[in-house]
Amino acid sequence: MSIELKTKYGQIEISNDVVAQVAGGAAVDCYGIVGMASKNQIKDGLSEILRRENFSRGVIVRQEQESVHIDMYIIVSYGTKISEVAHNVQTKVKYTLNQILGLSVDSINIYVQGVRVTNP
């Protein structure tokens, strides 16, 4: 699957894996995020934090007609306000995808899969 963009210069196809890698990288840079979690926790393991090369397993990119929707599965740090962390992730991912790929995202759904205590 890929996302198709039509510009005045022609057509651009962006792989869903590329969108997932960029979105996952932007999310992990946010304060309060421990890491990305797998969307299939039962199959992949309950306590697994995904590394940078596996971000696409924690991000689902869907295209419905002309709109793009992203589902992200994250693990947050203990002691942070989850609603603020989720809002920051939504804002940063939307901005980063627009700046890097020129992609306008209609919705970013955040699913908190766990809370971890981080070492000081």
Structural domains of the chain sorted by starting position, each given as residue range(s) with its CATH number in brackets: 2-116 (3.30.70.1350)
Confidence (pTM): 0.82
- Highest mean pLDDT among 41-50, 90-99, 109-118 belongs to 90-99
Site of tokens 């306000």: 81
Task: Compute the distance between CA of residue 50 and CA of residue 8 in angstroms, rounded to an integer.
Answer: 38
> Which 8-state DSSP code applies to residue 29?
T
Task: Compute the distance between CA of residue 20 and CA of residue 56 in angstroms, rounded to an integer.
Answer: 5
The sign of the torsion formed by the CA atoms of 44, 91, 98, 33 equals: negative
Burial class (CB in 10 A: 0-12, 13-18, 19+), 9: exposed
* Structure tokens, 117: 């205590």
Q: 49-85, pLDDT tens digit by residue?
A: 656 556 677 899 998 888 899 999 998 999 999 999 9
